[in-house]
Amino acid sequence: MTLGLAKYQHLAVSFLGRGALRYERLRQEAKLKRKGSWKSERFAPPLSTSPRLKELISLHYLKGRTADERGPVAWVTSGAPVEFLVALGYYVLYPENHGAVCGIRRVSEKISVHAEDAGYSRDLCSYARTDIGAALSGETPVGRLPRPDLLVACTNICQTVLLWYQVLAAHFRVPLVIIDTPFLYGEATERDIDFVRKQIEEAVAVAERVAGRSLSESRLMQVTRRSKEATELWLKVMETGKAKPAPITAFDEFIHMAPIVEMRGEQFTVDYYRAMLQELEARVRQGSGAVLRERKRLIWDNLPIWPRVRWLSEKLADRGVSLVASTYTNAWGELADLVDPEHPLESAAKVYLHPILNRGTGHKLATMEKMVRDYQADGVILHSDRSCKPYSIGQMDQRERLGTAAGVPALLLEADHNDPRSFSEEQAASRLAAFFEVLEA
């Protein structure tokens, strides 16, 4: 594509696309304001910020369609340090997030089949299969994914990304930066932090070279400040779930977490969560819960079952069960304190070593136990996620400890985060029914 055409497309996307999305948001907001427009026996009306969320996400992918014609593009893992990329002007795409979008729209299976046809085993992570399938076929529900100039994989969520991104690197023939965060069986040591800091510095150098520009320290500090602010707000948003009834469920958070994951460091993300927090606080004051007639409160562990989020949320709400928190969404808030905008790179080393997925199985149990106390939960659902080993190994012991030592009923639910073929609705429904009986006994 010539530069002129690219610019023209960009203008079209910016003005026409933006305009259409803005119009759609205003229409939805107006609809939400009309009294009596919401008819549900299970749930409170959506937050008035919901249409804005939709606009943000759509806009993000809309920009993505032509991003590779305009500037540098990086594909990154969900736990990777992103602030320096944002500060360098990269358009940042999160294949995991795109995978979730495919899951929610129920096209993940169809897209994964392209990868499976090419020989990628069904035992591989279903996000990876969705992403590789999309890369191989060009198929996506968001129009088009921009081609990466740089790949950044951080091992703080799994080793899977290390291998997955090698596949992408060979496919796209672009540089891959691996940020290796030693797994913390216990506490982080100086050598861990030092090792990660050096790697982030090296990553910055590669990203500068690929982008053809150098990192401005003040810009990095600004982005980090916004990132920290948004993370703190996100944490507060989730903490409103401590109120009884909870004004927000983890199911809502699964959707509302998109900006904190993929638009960290942007001012509009900060503004978005500030508005959301205000609304939730108002709901707490009014005593209105996200699930009407909240009777029981549960904690969720592991990734969502994206293709079945809605089914599961309705199944729970039917019984007056509210999912008040999750270890998964919590992961993007709990480290806010560690971020130091005055020392962005140094603090990043610490922050990116400490996600729950980079810490031991005992730490995850302790986190769940604390959440049960803080959120006054009645039980825990541990999603045993067939294609996510690092999140799932340890759950059998965690469930056992929750049940016996802490007296908290806990259910191990077999499924998969993005592959509907590894999920049996009948089996899940009967397990949930039995679990509800335990909760109510």
Partner 1 sequence: MSDAASIRALGIDAGSTTMKMVGVDAEGALVWHALEEMDPRIEAQAERLLDVVRADGCPDSLPLIATGYGRRLITRADRKVTEITCHARGVHRELGHGGTLIDIGGQDSKVIVVSEEGKVVNFSMNDKCAAGTGRFLEVVSGRLRMPMDAFADTALAADGEVGISSTCTVFAESEMISLLAHGAPVERIVRGLHRSLVQRVSALARGAGLRPPVMLSGGVARSRAIRTLLAETLRQEIVLPRHPQLMGAYGAALLALGA
Partner 2 sequence: MAPPNPPLVPRRDEVIRRHRSSGGRLAAVLPIHYSRAVFRAHRMLPVEVWGPPGIDTSPGDAHLQSYTCGIVRSSLAFVLSGGLDVADIIVVPHGCDSLQGLGSVLLDFAKPRQPVATLYVPRGPRSASVVFLAEELRALSRRLSEISGIEPTLDELRQAIAREESADRALADLLDARPHLPFADADFYRVARAREYLPAEDFEPLARAMLAERVAAKRPGIPVVLSGLVPEPMNFLGAVADAGGVIVGDDLACLGRRRYAPGRSDDPWKHLAESLLDAPPDSTRGSSTADRLAWIEKLATDSGAKAVVFYLVKFCEPELFYLPQLRQGLEERGLKSVVIETDIAESLSHQAVTRLEALLESVS
Footprint of partner 1 on this chain (CB under 8 A)?
A: 109, 113, 116-119, 420-427
Among 24, 28, 137, 195, binds partner 2 (CB under 8 A): 195
Provide, rounded to whole angstroms, the least separation between the CB of residue 395 and partner 2.
Answer: 7
Q: Which two tokens stand for residue 350?
A: 């610490």
Provide, rounded to whole angstroms, the least separation between the CB of residue 108 and partner 2.
Answer: 18
- C-alpha angle with apex 344: 339 to 349, nearest 5 degrees? 70
CA distance 430 to 388: 23
Q: Does 158 bind partner 2 (CB under 8 A)?
A: yes
CB atoms within 10 A of CB 338: 16
Provide, rounded to whole angstroms, the least separation between the CB of residue 425 and partner 1.
Answer: 7
**Which H, E and C letters describe 284-332, residue by residue?**
HHHCCCCECCCCEEEEEECCCCHHHHHHHHHHHHHCCEEEEEEHHHHCC
Nearer to partner 2, 133 or 344 (CB): 133
Among 91, 164, 273, 300, binds partner 2 (CB under 8 A): 164
Q: Does 46 bind partner 2 (CB under 8 A)?
A: no
Of 111, 90, 101, the closest CA to residue 175 belongs to: 90
Sequence-distant (6+) residues with CB within 8 A of 347 are: 224, 338, 339, 340, 341
Nearer to partner 2, 33 or 198 (CB): 198
CA distance 409 to 229: 35
CA distance 381 to 322: 12
Q: Does 183 bind partner 2 (CB under 8 A)?
A: yes
Provide, rounded to whole angstroms, the least separation between the CB of residue 121 and partner 1.
Answer: 8
Give the footprint of partner 2 on residues 362-391 (CB under 8 A): 362, 365, 384, 386, 389-390
Size of the site for partner 2 (CB under 8 A): 50
Is 319 exposed, middle or buried, given 0-12, 13-18 or 19+ CB atoms closer than 10 A?
middle
Give me Rg for the CA atoms of the chain. 21
Of 355, 349, 295, 359, the closest CA to residue 324 belongs to: 295
Q: Is 293 left (phi over 0), alpha (psi -120 to 50) or beta?
A: left
Nearer to partner 1, 342 or 426 (CB): 426
Of 272, 264, 177, the closest CA to residue 222 belongs to: 264
**Taking CB under 8 A as the rule, which mask of x and - marks residues 78-117 in contact with partner 2?**
----------------------------------------
Nearer to partner 2, 113 or 221 (CB): 113
Residue 128, contacted partner among partner 1, partner 2, none, CB below 5-8 A by kind? partner 2
Provide, rounded to whole angstroms, the least separation between the CB of residue 359 and partner 1.
Answer: 33
Strand extents, DSSP E, 39-89: 73-76
Nearer to partner 1, 75 or 423 (CB): 423
Provide, rounded to whole angstroms, the least separation between the CB of residue 421 and partner 1.
Answer: 5
Give yes or no for a contact between 376 and 242, defined as CB atoms under 8 angstroms apart: yes
Residue count of the chain? 441
Q: Does 205 bind partner 2 (CB under 8 A)?
A: no
Provide, rounded to whole angstroms, the least separation between the CB of residue 372 and partner 2.
Answer: 18
Residue reference for tokens 């562990």: 301
Q: Does 167 bind partner 2 (CB under 8 A)?
A: yes
The neighbouring-strand residues paired with 152 are 76, 177
Q: Does 159 bind partner 2 (CB under 8 A)?
A: yes
SS3 for 254?
Answer: helix
Q: Does 182 bind partner 2 (CB under 8 A)?
A: yes
Nearer to partner 2, 142 or 207 (CB): 207
Residue 346, contacted partner among partner 2, partner 1, none, CB below 5-8 A by kind? none
Provide, rounded to whole angstroms, the least separation between the CB of residue 23 and partner 2.
Answer: 43
Nearer to partner 2, 226 or 386 (CB): 386
Q: Does 199 bind partner 2 (CB under 8 A)?
A: yes
Which amino acid appears at position 331 of this protein? A
Q: Does 178 bind partner 2 (CB under 8 A)?
A: yes
Q: Does 403 bind partner 2 (CB under 8 A)?
A: no
Of 332, 355, 363, 202, the closest CA to residue 260 belongs to: 332
Provide, rounded to whole angstroms, the least separation between the CB of residue 128 and partner 2.
Answer: 7
Binding site for partner 2 (CB under 8 A): 118-121, 123-125, 128, 155, 158-160, 162-164, 166-167, 169-171, 176, 178, 180, 182-183, 185-186, 189, 191, 194-195, 198-199, 202, 360-362, 365, 384, 386, 389-390, 392-397, 400-401
